[in-house]
Amino acid sequence: MDELDGNPSESQSPAADPEDPQKCPPVVTDIGALNCSSLNVESFIEQSIAIIMEDVVKKATDVTEKVCEWRSPEQLKELLDLELTDGGESESKILQHCRDAIRYSIKTTHPRFFNQLYAGMEPYSMVASFITEALKPSLYTYEVAPVFTLIEDAVLRKMMEMIGWEEGGDGIFNAGGSMSNMYAVNLARYHHYPHIKELGLSAAPRLVIFTSRECHYSISKAAALLGVGTKNVYVVPSDNRGKMISSALEEQIKTAKSEGAVPFMVNATAGTTVLGAFDPIEEIADICEKYNLWLHVDACWGGAALMSQKHKHLLKGIHRANSVAWNPHKMLMACLQCSAFLVRDKTHLLQRCHSAQASYLFQQDKFYDVSYDTGDKSVQCSRKPDAFKFWLMWKALGTRELEQRVDRALAMARYLAQEVEKREGFRLLMDPEYANVCFWYIPPSLRNLSDGPEFWKKLHTVAPVIKERMMKKGSMMVGYQPHGDKANFFRMIIISPQVSKQDMDFVLDEIHNLGKDL
């Protein structure tokens, strides 16, 4: 019988038994055979979701469970089967790899994870993440991501409204706040010297950026990456609360100009990483207007205060900024990553700066409105629809509940600061302005020493030991760092609405218990 006949021959494989993967024969294709067990995706996904529900959604958010199962890199290499082999593994082994990955990962959704500028489980945003990962869209043209293109546009418009740009602007979601700050440097430079895009740095004068001592390190990285140079990032002094001193900014601008350099941009920070300080945006905006400088506000951390009627005064003047970086994955708890770069300009500056006009993507004779093809204003090609993670959460909660989330986090930070001030052996670095609570723990052995060099030298060694002990115990995670001339201190970041006053009390009790013998 002809091989192409519809009737099976005796030599052909028997029919597959879908109930028994062992009896399932290879699927024959024109390029060989695929093992049909690899096509049994529904069962695998269902089992995987069950593991996620039990080990992540339930256990990882349970205050009675550990924040982490700490292992050293060498120990973890032994526990995890990391080697990649020529042959595939069984479904049971793959599911075990999933369990192991979860078990030995840090539970950042745990109520006692206070280590970073993100925390807590956000169910709506998490489901949005599942959906986008399952659909695998890329946000460069409307034709391949119609829903998510419109959602990104809607979210950006609403964020601009919160900033106070009544006439709108432009923007894009991208891969993190560092990338947003890089966009700002590149766009500010293009705004002043558009010919650099084609002619390169040889056509540019010596350009200078101004930023505070407390700014995020991504500003220096952006200067290095874009050829501005780290030595052309002029660091403006901050006051004792971490805020840029505006009079010092103006002096530095005058100094740069006297050196023959060309100032082009000021970066103001709204919510510094360590102290949670807010630069005086209104005063800085006055100076930028006076000297015709691009004002960028890094509000990656502090932008969430714009949601709060009670706390939005912290960003007074932000509507005067030329660009803003804002990360909903921080205080607002959207799943990582969810980072917006917003621009007040409405002349397509973002597109003109980054456009490469790839003809295979951005054809101008398409059958729909090509203004919705947003990919040419991005430095990326493939880009995830991160705005959906914020949009679905915002739709579910509404602006009022997002506002309450911010207000509650800052109220909890205030409670912790008050408790620190009450307790023997604890010393507050400063009253918190935002959700960063910075303090020292002083063990009994140091409490009778005067505040001299010997005291601070010994105190400097305390926080690292307590951090090691808490990690190995798995009871909680709190960060520490030195800062300027200050000895190591703890930095508590309070975000999640799951966190209670009892958790705040537990943190202070646990730090004392872990460090009282030092």
pLDDT digits (tens, 9 = 90+) for 17-53: 444 444 445 555 566 655 555 558 899 999 999 999 9
Percent of the chain with pLDDT over 90: 85
pLDDT the model gives residue 30:
64
* Span 100-127, average pLDDT: 96
For range 335-349, the mean pLDDT:
96
* Pairing status of strand 426-428 against strand 436-441: antiparallel
Last residue of a domain, one of 396, 422, 447: 396
End residue of a domain, out of 396, 428, 461: 396
**For range 303-309, the mean pLDDT:** 98
Q: Does 173 reside within a domain?
A: yes
Average model confidence (pLDDT) across the chain: 91
**80 in any annotated domain:** yes
Give the residue-averaged pLDDT of 283-287. 98
Q: Are 60 and 167 members of one domain?
A: no
Q: Residue 135 — pLDDT band, cuts 50, 70, 90?
A: very high
Say yes or no: 198 and 266 in one domain: yes
Residues 69 and 161 both lie in one domain: no
Q: Which amino acid is at 21?
A: P
Enumerate the β-bridge partners of residue 340.
Answer: 173, 326
37 within some domain: no
Looking at residue 358, its pLDDT comes to: 72
Q: Total domain count for the chain?
A: 2
Whether residue 390 contacts residue 328, with contact meaning beta carbons closer than 8 Å, is answered with: yes
Residues 338 and 203 in one domain: yes
- Check residues 2 and 267 and name the one with the higher pLDDT: 267
Task: Place 356 in a pLDDT band, splitting at 50, 70 and 90.
Answer: confident
pLDDT number for residue 378? 86
Whether 241 has a pLDDT exceeding 60, the answer reads yes
Q: Is 251 a member of any domain?
A: yes
pLDDT at residue 448 above 80? yes
pLDDT band at 122 (very low <50, low <70, confident <90, very high): very high
Task: Output the pLDDT for position 28.
Answer: 53
pLDDT digits (tens, 9 = 90+) for 376-429: 888 898 899 999 999 999 999 999 999 999 999 999 999 999 999 999 999 999
Query: In 3D, which of 91, 102, 114 has the Cα closest to residue 36?
Result: 91
- Which pLDDT value is given to residue 17? 46
Give me the domain span that covers residue 48: 43-110
Residue 423 corresponds to which tokens in the numbers above? 């307790």
Within-domain flag for 375: yes
> Are residues 316 and 278 in contact, defined by beta-carbon separation less than 8 angstroms?
no
Asked whether the predicted pLDDT for residue 12 surpasses 80, the reply is: no
Judge contact between 335 and 129, C-beta under 8 A: yes
**Judgement on whether residues 333 and 220 belong to the same structural domain of the protein:** yes
Out of 31-45, 459-473, 482-496, least confident range: 31-45
Judge if 96 and 153 occupy the same domain: no
Instruction: Give the pLDDT of residue 369.
Output: 84
220 & 363 share domain: yes
The residues near 50 (Cβ < 8 Å, ≥ 6 apart) are none
For the residues 79-84, what does the mean pLDDT come to?
A: 95
User: Residue 314: inside a domain, yes or no?
Assistant: yes
Tell me the mean pLDDT in the region 287-297: 98
> Are 179 and 304 part of one and the same domain?
yes
Q: Domain check: are 97 and 142 in the same one?
A: no
Is 315 in contact with 303 (CB distance < 8 Å)?
yes
**Residue pair 282/316 in contact by the 8 Å Cβ criterion:** yes
* Token representation of residue 445: 């052995």
* Maximum C-alpha span of the chain: 99
How confident is the model at residue 35, as a pLDDT? 57
Q: How far apart are CA 312 and CA 295, in angstroms?
A: 19
Task: Supply the pLDDT for residue 18.
Answer: 45
Q: What is the pLDDT of residue 33?
A: 57
Which residue in 293, 342, 333, 294 sits closest to 163, CA to CA?
342
% of the chain exceeding 70 in pLDDT: 92
Domain with residue 273: its CATH number is: 3.40.640.10
Structure tokens at 84: 């990649």
The pLDDT tens digits of the residues spanning 181-225 come to: 999 999 999 999 999 999 999 888 999 999 999 999 999 999 999
Residues 98, 131: one domain? no
For position 168, what pLDDT does the model report?
A: 92
- 97 assigned to some structural domain: yes
**Residue 278 three-state SS:** strand
> Does residue 86 lie within any of the structural domains?
yes
| Token code pair at residue 288 | 């930028």
pLDDT (tens digit per residue) in 57-74: 999 999 999 999 999 999
Query: Considering 371, 396, 421, which residue would you say is the last residue of a domain?
Result: 396
CB 302 within 8 A of CB 243: no
Buried b (16+ CB within 10 A) or exposed e, 375-389: bbbbeeeebbbbbbb
Query: Whole-angstrom Cα distance, residue 113 to residue 130?
Result: 23
CB 173 within 8 A of CB 339: yes
Determine which of 229-233, 306-310, 365-369, 475-479 has the lowest per-residue pLDDT on average. 365-369
If asked whether residues 243 and 101 sit together in one domain, one would say no
pLDDT for residue 211: 98
User: Does residue 83 share a domain with residue 231?
Assistant: no
